[in-house]
Chains A and B, each alone.
Chain A
Amino acid sequence: MYDVVIIGAGVSGASTARELSRYKARICVVEKCEDVCCGTSKANSAIVHGGFDAETGSLMARLNLRGNLMMDKLCDDLDIPFKRNGSLVVCTDPEKLGDLYALYDRGLANGVRGLEVITDRNRLLEMEPNLADGVCAALHAPTGGIINPFVMNIAMAENANENGVEFRFNTEIMDIEKCEGGFVLHSENGNIKTRCVVNAAGLYTDKFHNIFAEKKIKIIPRRGDYYLLDKTAGQYVSKTVFELPNKMGKGVIVTPTVDGNLLVGPTAIDVTDKEATNTTGEGLDIVLEKSKHTVKNIPMRQVITSFAGLRAHEQGHEFIIGELSEALGFFDCAAIESPGLTAAPAIGEMLADLIKKRLGLEEKDDFIATRKAVFDPSGLSEGERTKLIKEKPEYGTIVCRCEMISAGEIIEAIHRPLGAKTLDGIKRQVRAGSGRCQGGFCTPKVMEIIAKELNMEMCDLTKSGKESRIVLGRNKDWI
């Protein structure tokens, strides 16, 4: 019997796992996909929000701010790419200036530092020369930042794993029942018993919550379509540029990513299918149209991909975190939509604290607080790199030529604690395939490396687990 089973290896689940791994306990994370970071955590704006947007006094506001403040140390400890590039919420209608000041006031009340409303257009253009012609004022939040959400998720999960947390992939939980001393989780791969459950199942948190809770919730998948532009467009803005928020969310943003691309999106379209991560023509058109309000002449010819993510929206628009009184030991981590990525470190901290108290957990004295990222040789001098290659020749072979990723990095990604097993997994770990050719050149080479390192057949390799096989047979097999 486990002490804690966390359902979902997204950013909230991984954060909770890592925070809990500070304590002496048997912990397991169960994930329906083949890897961490496969749901909402992998397709979002990759933004660390300042914390001025959420309603003052809400859990969302508190955890947003706390998460933002924790981010420097977390990223330092776990070697996660993060940059405080600052954000600008721009106002394009002088009559809406009041809304901008209201946001400023809310930010102050939420405890956000350094906020400033700038009404001098020239000053704004100095900060951000490509702002749209209609921009008349902006709220500047210097604490806003950009982060690599995949690496953040992977890093927390890896660190948890190193501290003894077990991970079970391809394990979808179908049902949960109470049993003596805790719960039984029914999965496709058998039953799992545990004293406590953390419901961090993202879009599916309502399913598990509603098994026990009297007050039912309904998670509405709210789709966000995005465009990702080539690194040649990555400098087009330096700060994260927001529209004034509306009732569907924070509007379309234009932002650099911490890896150097430009990201434009999202839409906010409510859908019914929780797996419907498909972009639509009209969704992408909305992104295009709305982004023009804040930033002009975005070089859309440089788009390298578009994608959509689903936010786990609940009508209360508030994080649902805590123990169910109807099922003690069952902890919700539900309705985690934006600013969920920012809040994740704080969410993990809060849940770990609650569970520690519930189970009376003791702190470990051998907790490993740091983790090193996959080794990145790009910062080495020519001499240092040659020395590395003499020792490990695989670092001398470039596999992904757009992102300049060597075989050495890919091999390391495969053999990490929760190593990548799929094309998408490699992409999230080390960016091979995420550049301007989108895997056109490196796909066959990455496949060969995975097959060799994991001793798999080429035909069994997948893009992202399950039925996503890449090649389906050999030549003439079907003649």
Chain B
Amino acid sequence: MKKRTLTCISCPLGCQVTAEINKGEIVSVTGNTCKRGDVYARKELTNPTRIVTSTVEVIGGESSRLPVKTRTDIPKSMIFDCILALKGLKVKAPLKVGDVVLENVCGTGVDIIATKTIKTF
């Protein structure tokens, strides 16, 4: 039986959660305050994921950069590929929160969406 201790990043509380692993199988998670901690620990030890945020260039908008994010979390190993996919990307104003600016980033099945409304200049 192996033990792994992690800091849950699901919320600002930052619980220290401990997972017990037996032959590659997670048999228990303890130390979490809510069920998100259990989910996080199991995911983090098997397929860690993150939400990625960045900005892209806006043309013709009140602001010159649009903040964006992956709609849901993507595999941690794909973070830099995702950022690279945003390099050089330009979008036209107007834009609304939630607008898709890049579909299915790097084949993750996750869209990049706008996180701010930007009116035309």
Question: Do A and B make up one complex?
Answer: yes
Closest A residue to B88 using CB positions: A476
Interface size band for A: under 10
What distance in Å separates the Cβ of A336 from its nearest Cβ neighbour in chain B? 47
Kindly state the separation between the CA atoms of A479 and B54 in the bound complex, as whole angstroms.
Answer: 13
Kindly state the separation between the CA atoms of A225 and B28 in the bound complex, as whole angstroms.
Answer: 60
* The one of B55, B65, B84 that contacts A479, using a Cβ cutoff of 8 Å: B84
Kindly state the separation between the CA atoms of A137 and B65 in the bound complex, as whole angstroms.
Answer: 63
B contact residues around A476 at 8 Å (CB): 83-84, 86-88
The 8 A CB mask of B81-113 against A (1 = contact, 0 = none) is 001101110000000000000000000000000
User: For the complex, is A475 an interface residue (Cβ under 8 Å from B)?
Assistant: yes
Kindly state the separation between the CA atoms of A475 and B65 in the bound complex, as whole angstroms.
Answer: 10
The 8 A CB mask of A451-479 against B (1 = contact, 0 = none) is 00000000000000000000000011001
The 8 A CB mask of A239-254 against B (1 = contact, 0 = none) is 0000000000000000
Closest A residue to B86 using CB positions: A476
Interface set, chain B 58-84, CB cutoff 8 A to A: 65, 80, 83-84
Q: Are B55 and A475 in touch, CB under 8 angstroms?
A: yes
Kindly state the separation between the CA atoms of A164 and B48 in the bound complex, as whole angstroms.
Answer: 70
What distance in Å separates the Cβ of B67 from its nearest Cβ neighbour in chain A? 12
Kindly state the separation between the CA atoms of A476 and B86 in the bound complex, as whole angstroms.
Answer: 9
Taking A475-B54, A479-B87 as known contacts, 7 extra A-B pairs with beta carbons closer than 8 A to each other, sorted by chain A number, are A475-B55, A475-B65, A476-B83, A476-B84, A476-B86, A476-B87, A479-B83
Kindly state the separation between the CA atoms of A476 and B80 in the bound complex, as whole angstroms.
Answer: 11
Kindly state the separation between the CA atoms of A476 and B88 in the bound complex, as whole angstroms.
Answer: 8
Kindly state the separation between the CA atoms of A475 and B54 in the bound complex, as whole angstroms.
Answer: 9
What distance in Å separates the Cβ of B13 from its nearest Cβ neighbour in chain A? 30
Question: Which 9 A-B pairs give the minimum distances between C-beta atoms?
Answer: A476-B87, A479-B87, A479-B84, A479-B83, A475-B55, A476-B83, A476-B86, A476-B88, A479-B80
A contact residues around B54 at 8 Å (CB): 475
A contact residues around B86 at 8 Å (CB): 476
What distance in Å separates the Cβ of B72 from its nearest Cβ neighbour in chain A? 23
What distance in Å separates the Cβ of A448 from its nearest Cβ neighbour in chain B? 11
B contact residues around A475 at 8 Å (CB): 54-55, 65
Kindly state the separation between the CA atoms of A479 and B87 in the bound complex, as whole angstroms.
Answer: 8
A contact residues around B88 at 8 Å (CB): 476
Kindly state the separation between the CA atoms of A475 and B67 in the bound complex, as whole angstroms.
Answer: 12
Kindly state the separation between the CA atoms of A475 and B90 in the bound complex, as whole angstroms.
Answer: 13
Interface set, chain A 266-315, CB cutoff 8 A to B: none
What distance in Å separates the Cβ of A335 from its nearest Cβ neighbour in chain B? 52
A contact residues around B65 at 8 Å (CB): 475
What distance in Å separates the Cβ of B89 from its nearest Cβ neighbour in chain A? 9
What distance in Å separates the Cβ of A275 from its nearest Cβ neighbour in chain B? 37
What distance in Å separates the Cβ of B51 from its nearest Cβ neighbour in chain A? 18
